[in-house]
Structure 1
Amino acid sequence: MASPSFEHCRYERHGRVLTITINRPQVLNALNPAAHFEMAQAFDLYAADPELHVAILTGSGDRAFCVGTDLKELSRTGEHRKPPSGFGGITTRFDLFKPVIAAVNGLCLGGGAEMVAACDLAVSSDSASFALPEPLVGLAALGGGALQRLAREMPMKDAMMLILTGRRIDAQEARRISLINEVVPHQELMPAAFALAERVLACAPLAVQASKQVMLQSLDMPDLQTAMSARYEAAERMLASQDAIEGPLAFAEKRKPVWTGR
């Protein structure tokens, strides 16, 4: 299948892995409305493609993953439009149960950090840095869910320190507070992201999607009993799949399973 052509991002297939690369290095991969809508389309295509099981989101060049909104263009146009799926087409996308890995290659500020928080896993270059600097310019990180996600994803004091001070932290500190999963030397970033994708691909894709759906949707339920007794569509699809038969059979036959995603 031919890959679509976008102006502001690159959409590249690598077997069952997709890379979406923000491609605005001239503005440190800051996003304007056109870029938001292109990235939303890229994630739509990923969600709909049964041959793609894992996506990696990264930035073009060595300087920045994404520094948030393109403020220079915003000052000229006053245009704030974003797709319903949010900043970068991902921060308010609540129905994507395929995994997304962030590969943070440089500066990760504002909306860029919000995109990382919206990803399921994150690998960072050791030269990357992170911040939510909105309060320093009289604003708050309201647009991409950082205030809500970080309160759920890390200790509250760490989240408050990041959010209330606007200070920039390095990759090791981002790892300590669980904003990211792994820090690697800069030149090893993409190989590490693909290695992580391969570890995900070793699992049955429907099992991965079911696990993600149950974990995320159970957060909205009032208690453990309700969460454990709820129905989850992806889990039901997994249990009825060919892969649910293939996994135990491969184990019994002492061979690697051949996952079909069906």
Structure 2
Amino acid sequence: MHASRYRHCLYEVEGPLLTLTLNRPHVLNALHPAAHRELADAFDRYAADPDLRVCIVTGAGERAFCVGTDLKELAATGDHAKPPTGFAGITHRFDLWKPLIAAVNGHCLGGGMEILAACDLGVASEDAQFGLPEPRVGLAALGGGLLQRLPRQIAAKDAMALVLTGAPITAAEARRIGLLNEVVPPGQVLPRARQFAAEILACAPLAVQASKQVMLQSMAVADLQQAMHERYEAAQRMLASDDAREGPRAFAEKRSPRWTGR
């Protein structure tokens, strides 16, 4: 599938930056099987393209980032199918070491929260709303690993309050409990996400990927000493790279480094 043929997402490349937009605003960017497949393909492209270094994930329109599963489509078809990489093609992807930045506009509910939790950084508009309404309709947030991710990302009591009540929270509260890095005025979400991306792009790409891999994979190792002695492939690749030599050389020569990602 060519990126230009996507119907349910926009794949926009600007140099090393990819902006991936959920593009179903008529249903508040709710996702159905075809959208999941397109997004899985888009994230595959991002992972495989050596020229792309950072991805911003956002939603079309001002009303919603993503409100989860398209329930009307589900009721009509009964089709729950998702790719092996999970909801939106990202929640079950555990080998993507390039950074993901969520730029949240409007409602971020259910599966939208799953996408946010699968991203590394999060920026939201002041008027964004967050929540896990599944228990209020007889369900639990089982589909994308959120029940496993949340207590690893925020305080357990805050995670329990979100999960057990199904009550919505504001962007300010989402920032307070650690779901977000920043809350910004309406209209400033994408510009701030792009600033974060620029700060990441100033760093060596292999160093960024190594840092993400070590942080995430070490969380699976209970013993700190063992975690510090694990072998991390991205870190080994970084240490053997041209960029690992370029950084100190540029510092000594008092110039900006020229990263190649090799």
TM-score range, shorter chain: over 0.9
Q: Does the 8 Å contact 1:121/1:181 carry over to 2?
A: yes
**How far has the Cα of 1:3 moved from its partner?**
5.0
Q: Secondary structure at the match of 1:149?
A: helix
Q: Distance in 2 between matches of 1:5 and 1:240?
A: 38
Counterpart for residue 201 of structure 2:
201
Counterpart for residue 83 of structure 2:
83
- Which residue identity is paired with 1:185? P
1:167-182 → structure 2 map (5 Å cutoff): 167-182=167-182
Q: Does the 8 Å contact 2:102/2:122 carry over to 1?
A: yes
- Which residue identity is paired with 1:117? A
Paired residues, number: 261
TM-score by length of 1: 0.98
Unaligned runs of 5+ residues in structure 2 are none
Name the Cα RMSD after superposition.
0.9
Counterpart for residue 216 of structure 1:
216
- Which residue identity is paired with 1:105? N
**How far has the Cα of 1:254 moved from its partner?**
1.1
Q: Secondary structure at the match of 1:187?
A: coil
- Which residue identity is paired with 1:162? L
Counterpart for residue 116 of structure 2:
116
**How far has the Cα of 1:187 moved from its partner?**
1.0
Q: Distance in 2 between matches of 1:244 and 1:5?
A: 38
Q: Does the 8 Å contact 2:10/2:23 carry over to 1?
A: yes
Q: Does the 8 Å contact 1:3/1:13 carry over to 2?
A: no
Counterpart for residue 129 of structure 2:
129
Deviation digits for residues 67-120 of structure 1, max 9, x if unmatched? 000000000100000001110010110000000000001100000011000000
Q: Does the 8 Å contact 2:3/2:42 carry over to 1?
A: no
Q: Distance in 2 between matches of 1:99 and 1:255?
A: 26
1:184-199 → structure 2 map (5 Å cutoff): 184-199=184-199
Q: Distance in 1 between matches of 2:143 and 2:4?
A: 28
Counterpart for residue 50 of structure 1:
50
Unaligned runs of 5+ residues in structure 1 are none
**How far has the Cα of 1:221 moved from its partner?**
1.1
TM-score by length of 2: 0.98
Q: Does the 8 Å contact 2:123/2:180 carry over to 1?
A: yes
Counterpart for residue 140 of structure 2:
140
- Among all aligned residue pairs of Structure 1 and Structure 2, give the percentage whose two residues are the same amino acid: 68
Q: Secondary structure at the match of 2:187?
A: helix
Q: Secondary structure at the match of 2:50?
A: coil
Q: Distance in 1 between matches of 2:123 and 2:212?
A: 18
- Which residue identity is paired with 2:50? P
- Which residue identity is paired with 1:39? L
- Which residue identity is paired with 2:238? M
Deviation digits for residues 143-179 of structure 1, max 9, x if unmatched? 1111110011011110001110001011010000111
Q: Distance in 1 between matches of 2:3 and 2:185?
A: 30
Counterpart for residue 37 of structure 2:
37
Q: Distance in 1 between matches of 2:208 and 2:23?
A: 29
Deviation digits for residues 221-258 of structure 1, max 9, x if unmatched? 13011111111100000000000000001111111111
Q: Distance in 1 between matches of 2:3 and 2:81?
A: 26
Q: Does the 8 Å contact 2:11/2:19 carry over to 1?
A: yes
Deviation digits for residues 26-82 of structure 1, max 9, x if unmatched? 000000000001000000000000000000000000100000000000001000000
**How far has the Cα of 1:5 moved from its partner?**
2.8
Q: Secondary structure at the match of 2:51?
A: coil
Q: Secondary structure at the match of 1:4?
A: helix
